[in-house]
Amino acid sequence: MRSLLNKLYLASGYLSGGCIVLITLIITAQIVARLFGFIVPSAEDFSGYALAAATFFGLAYTFREGGHIRVTLVIQRWRKGGRYYQELLVLLLALALVSFMSFYAVHMVWESYIFEEVSSGYVSVPIWLPQVPVALGILMLNIAVVDDVIALLRRQSPSYQVYETALQLEDV
């Protein structure tokens, strides 16, 4: 199971990186096309969709790699027992918020699909298509947070804490 989850998080990171490459290709195509007097229809729209996908696909991978900003100035001064409960409280709060976001992201995709919403631009796109990566990305973050809650309840270090410890050792 651990191997499957790690592959999921890594795939999330690769998808995020792929979306960044896609943005680069779209913008480059738009620049080249303008040099020859053409336009790339809805380039801004598709770049925006790819940016949203890159952002949300990157959440789970960044969380697992310890890349999200945490204020450790106060946290690192707690005793071991106090820190455990503080970490658990923060992770449970994060789980509640991310679960809320996951539910409504999936609901948003479903409503857009049911009501057949389309984008307004040169190229009409069913709006649920660019919303799917947002929902998938937040669901992957939800899985990552659940993974760390379970690790903490088993008295193991959450994934992000491993990287914080490594950073603290570098500072010494």
In the DSSP assignment, the letter for residue 115 is: T
Asked if residue 159 lies in contact with residue 147, where contact means CB atoms within 8 angstroms, the answer is: yes
Phi, psi of 121 (to 5 degrees): 175, -170
What pLDDT shows up at residue 56? 98
**Mean pLDDT for back-to-back runs of 10 residues, the chain (172 residues):** 92 97 97 94 95 97 83 72 87 97 98 95 94 98 96 89 66 56
What pLDDT shows up at residue 2? 86
Domain that holds residue 96: 2-171
> Tokens 């995020």, residue?
16
What pLDDT shows up at residue 160? 81
pTM of the model: 0.88
Contacts of 47 (CB under 8 A, 6+ apart): 23, 26, 27
When divided into structural domains, the chain yields a total of 1
Phi, psi of 11 (to 5 degrees): -60, -40
Question: Which neighbouring-strand residues pair with 19?
Answer: none
What pLDDT shows up at residue 45? 95
The SS3 of residue 132 is helix
Helices (H), the chain: 2-35, 43-64, 72-75, 80-114, 128-153, 159-171
